[in-house]
């Protein structure tokens, strides 16, 4: 009988157990899970079944993950090729690294009284970043960098759309022209310089400017591939010994272009203005060479606006001309625009010149964005740099004290001339004077160059003495005076290996260059977007160019010599630039 302390159902369980038959040993074992049948039969099968199910689930999960990764990769690297008419504008900010953007953004905010949140047009179209190394060095030069863009392949420093085995590689511009697109090149440096050269010529070494000029106008293995060229470098197209000529031979490339390849030619601002102001439509092909060597830095050019067009003016004119020329065509155009002299400001370590170059490039970038928005033809803008120049740092420790967390944009704003321009003026003055008095020269430097040109009123006697004693190195001295007062740092007069930014308007397949990619990925995207056959151009070039047979006859050792020569000359390209500027100054004098 249950009582108050008996657990519920206790009597029922006890009574039920009492009324039932006693269990056999085998039944007790079975209930406890100890029967031989359970261990050797059903339990073994259950474990096997569970193991198989687990393995299947594991494999299925792995398969799903693999498919997800593959799908993501395909989404980023492959896309349905666009159909129909389209335009592609590729912009190169030669030598512009991420620090250049920070420097220029803050400079603009200061000079225009803008809020700290105000950004450049470039900032609004940031897309990713690019790794820049070449096949021969962790630090690339512009030639190898542009070859990665034009051919979509890595090559050695100094290569102009040539590969490490000294065979040519077809370029996106050449393939576009063959496919019926109109093509153009717009730069602010010598049009035979590395970046433009890599889209329309093929030579072993970037210093072969005479050969590049001839190929660019159409006297090469593929014929004329470019429809419009704007930039500097006029002396490369004029015979040696003639006024304004700097070629090593007697070929008049301007005459060759006009007579043999049908080019129209303009050589000054007045001729350009007829098209810039819309008085005339630009007849193609059009060759416009507006400076003997490079178009001056924007900081100086704006004071010579009646002599030289700006990058944004040339870009707008080229866009209008190519759009007009393709009005009735099934194909659009490919245009490469380079902010060339950002690089030169980096080489010279001149922050005052660089911020103005970046601002003008940003202005040209906006002009392209506006064009794409207004055009009835679909198009894409892709912009990036070939490398960074100068190892720019937007801060500088100027003494042994605890570093100051600041820099001074006002110092850059006060400068009205580039260090390059002031150095030329000093060198020209020294060449003309007969009085060798250092004190008189120091006074001239301070009163005529430093104060009005740099906006510096506290030049030290040591700084002025250095300038007066070594006028050949004045460019570096002037730039140093600006940099140290602005507290801007530099680590080199050459290039650096930092990753550079990619910008884009976006469009079909542009996800392929999102994130951090190789510079060759940018080149591959250009051809994919235009849907052109660069490989076919490479085959045609190799069939036609003598270099293939020459290299095979020379053997591997000679080919290595070519690469070594290219590497040496690539390293000295800034020296070559300085020598060319000295030559130009002698001519001006």
Say if CB 466 and CB 369 are below 8 A apart: no
- CA 194 – CA 185 distance, rounded (Å): 12
Nearest to 314 by CA among 350, 356, 342, 286: 286
Residue 329 backbone phi and psi in degrees, to 5: -100, 155
CA angle 351, 389, 519 (to 5 degrees): 135
| 47, two tokens | 């474990």
Cα angle at 470 between 466 and 473, to 5 degrees?
100
Let me know: does 217 contact 256? Beta carbons within 8 Å. Answer: yes
Which is nearest to 489 in space by CA: 405, 406, 394, 355?
Answer: 394
> Is 142 a known active-site residue?
yes
Judge contact between 215 and 177, C-beta under 8 A: no
Task: Identify the CA nearest to 204 among candidates 256, 169, 246.
Answer: 169
The DSSP string of 70-126 is HHHHHHHH--PPP-S--EEEEEE-TB--HHHHHHHHHHHHHHHT--TT---TGGGGE
Cα distance between residue 244 and residue 116, in whole Å = 47
Q: Angle, to 10 degrees, between the axis of helix 461-469 and the axis of helix 474-486? A: 160
Question: DSSP for 323-376?
Answer: HHHTTT-SS-EEEEEE-THHHHHHHTT-HHHHHHHHHHHHHHHHHHHHHHHH-S
Region for residue 161 given its phi and psi (left: phi exceeds 0; alpha: psi -120 to 50; beta: otherwise): left
- CA-nearest of 405, 402, 408, 449 to 427 is 449
Helix/strand number for the chain, H first, E second: 25, 12
Best CA proximity match to 417, nearest among 355, 463, 353, 467: 353
* Integer CA distances (angstroms), 313 to 147, 363, 503, in order: 26, 10, 21
Of 388, 409, 302, 339, the C-alpha closest to 129 is 388
- Cα–Cα dist 156/166, whole Å: 10
Whether the Cβ atoms of residue 325 and residue 292 lie closer than 8 Å to each other: no
Catalytic residue, candidates 93, 129, 134, 142: 142
Residue 589 Cα distances to 189, 417, 423, 489, angstroms: 21, 20, 14, 34
Q: Which residues are catalytic?
A: 142
């Amino acid at each position: 009988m249950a009582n108050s302390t008996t657990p519920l159902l206790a009597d029922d369980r006890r009574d039920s157990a009492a009324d039932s038959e006693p269990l056999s040993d085998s039944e007790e074992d079975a209930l406890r899970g100890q029967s031989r049948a359970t261990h050797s039969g059903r339990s073994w099968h259950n474990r096997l079944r569970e193991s198989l199910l687990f393995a299947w689930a594991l494999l299925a999960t792995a398969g799903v993950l693999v498919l997800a990764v593959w799908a993501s990769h395909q989404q980023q690297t492959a896309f349905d090729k666009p159909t129909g008419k389209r335009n592609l504008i590729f912009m190169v900010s030669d030598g512009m690294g991420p620090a250049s953007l920070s420097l220029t953004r803050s400079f603009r905010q200061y000079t225009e009284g803008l809020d700290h949140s105000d950004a450049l047009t470039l900032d609004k179209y940031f897309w990713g970043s690019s790794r820049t190394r070449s096949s021969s060095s962790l630090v690339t030069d512009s030639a190898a960098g542009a070859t990665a863009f034009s051919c979509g392949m890595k090559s050695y420093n100094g290569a102009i759309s040539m590969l490490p085995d000294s065979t040519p590689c077809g370029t996106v511009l050449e393939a576009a022209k063959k496919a019926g697109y109109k093509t153009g090149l717009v730069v602010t440096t010598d049009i035979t310089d590395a970046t433009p050269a890599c889209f329309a010529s093929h030579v072993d070494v970037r210093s072969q400017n005479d050969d590049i000029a001839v190929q660019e106008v159409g006297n090469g293995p593929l014929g004329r591939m470019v429809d419009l060229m704007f930039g500097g470098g006029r002396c490369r197209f004029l015979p040696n010994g003639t006024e304004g000529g700097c070629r090593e031979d007697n070929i008049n490339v301007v005459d060759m272009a006009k007579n043999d390849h049908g080019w129209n030619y303009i050589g000054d601002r007045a001729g350009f203005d007829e098209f810039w102001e819309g008085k005339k439509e630009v007849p193609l092909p059009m060759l416009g060479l507006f400076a003997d060597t490079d178009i001056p830095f924007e900081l100086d050019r704006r004071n010579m606006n009646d002599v030289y067009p700006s990058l944004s003016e040339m870009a707008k004119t080229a866009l209008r001309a190519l759009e007009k020329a393709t009005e009735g065509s099934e194909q659009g155009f490919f245009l490469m625009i380079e902010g060339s002299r950002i690089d030169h400001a980096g080489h010279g370590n001149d922050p005052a010149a660089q911020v103005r170059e970046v601002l003008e490039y940003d202005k040209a970038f906006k002009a392209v964005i506006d064009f794409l928005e207004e055009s009835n033809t679909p198009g894409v803008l892709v912009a990036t740099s070939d490398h960074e120049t100068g190892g720019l740092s937007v801060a500088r420790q100027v003494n042994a004290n605890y570093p100051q967390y600041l820099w001074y944009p006002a110092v850059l704003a006060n400068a009205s001339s580039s260090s390059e321009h002031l150095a030329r003026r000093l060198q020209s003055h020294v060449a003309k004077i007969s009085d060798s008095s250092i004190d008189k020269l120091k006074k001239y430097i301070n009163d005529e160059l430093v104060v009005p040109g740099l906006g510096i009123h506290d030049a030290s006697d040591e700084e002025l003495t250095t300038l007066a004693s070594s006028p050949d190195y004045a460019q570096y001295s002037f730039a140093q005076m600006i940099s140290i007062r602005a507290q801007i740092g530099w680590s080199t007069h050459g290039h650096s290996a930092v990753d550079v930014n990619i910008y884009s308007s976006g469009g079909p397949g542009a996800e392929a260059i999102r994130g951090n990619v190789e510079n060759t990925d940018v080149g591959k995207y250009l051809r994919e977007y235009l849907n052109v056959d660069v490989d076919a151009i490479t085959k045609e070039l190799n069939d036609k160019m003598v270099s293939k047979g020459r290299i095979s006859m020379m053997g591997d050792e000679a080919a290595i010599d070519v690469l070594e020569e290219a590497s040496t000359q690539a390293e000295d390209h800034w020296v070559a630039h300085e020598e060319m500027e000295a030559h130009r100054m002698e001519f001006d004098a």
